[in-house]
Chain A
């Protein structure tokens, strides 16, 4: 869907577009001209396009490493961080890293000034919220009060108040040590004290991302499907977005009923076997009834949305949307409806 919106913006509206994706399926990557082993931006060839479209896969490990390299003041700091075993896990296999790196990549693309429109493909709903609250969490972690402990966990505090806070923290950390073991804590302390030198820039970057996400220039689009539970999830996401003061601009409902089927067939056409024709006719009726129920749910959902939010329906396609030409077609459908809504 992200690629289709991008294709439309580049083709019909003449925008310079970048589509960032965390983990595309192989065939989509091929269609977009992406090399799965590289995170470089690739130009996507679009026919008769007024604008341009580029796409890139977000490589967490690479962005993490580059970030550390460009912001750490000294080379031994870079080495200390990248050598830390928790850092290795954080930047490669463990979840949580995707949120940070995808947002950092978004900010870099924005600051480059090379694009009119940047589209970031986020994970499904359950993780979308983790994703959108990542800047809050990162800046909370790098508050001075939190960092201080990791800088020197055993230091006796000189001030009375700081001493009290320190004791509570020490007690809590001791408990954590009992539960997880000294080795884990050691790695953590090493990790946090190593990144101390880039604390300021980490906090600044996450604050800047937050600013960007809240800016009226940033729109959120929720893609959902014609299903009661999915629509409920979409409504929840809408509420959370507004709570975070992000701007939800559109809801796209995917896989709507196949279009263009007449509703009033009475007689079996000549030359048709009545048996099989009636079976298909009955089957069609089932489809239509099913669609009618779903349509009611959809209307109920729309009534609950703010009037500023556009709702777009994408029909179920006879063929799968995966190649570039399909994406362009889908883009046109989205574009066309958008203007009408």
Chain B
């Protein structure tokens, strides 16, 4: 079990009114921003269950949008986000699906990437899947995420590159759609790695997507 901090229950310092529905929403948006890590012009949010039912009253819609635009959870201007946002096309859908967590969202960016996550309470979040690949990212570590063609030796190639930077790996997870099919790997790191390292990973043969996900503040 991942050790949790006492500050998971005596923070965040945030704008109200709900830690799960407002701060959690901002943090889910921020994580999606960090994962996509590129400029974008269009975003769609699909809100599930309690997010869908009570999101309006908790500012969940404002929080998600503010997060993906880079606002932090204690920014008092989140309240007026709809009046200030420009040059971004955004929309919301509301769905009931009991197979999903009570506070769940899909964030679709530029019709290219779908990021699914839950707000699990007290402002804490979890990213469950990225483009259909299962993940378990909570934003407490800098994380290197890559997608590649499943083949032997990929883990050692990538970990060797990281090891050369003297960066310690906190955890490593990988999975694949089928043998020889699309695979994904995400590596939680004790300290962030530089863009040069990311470039090296990108240059590995059969790696087609790499993103360096910064941890949440």
Are the chains A and B members of one assembly?
Answer: no
Chain B residues in the interface with A (C-beta under 8 A): none
Chain A residues in the interface with B (C-beta under 8 A): none
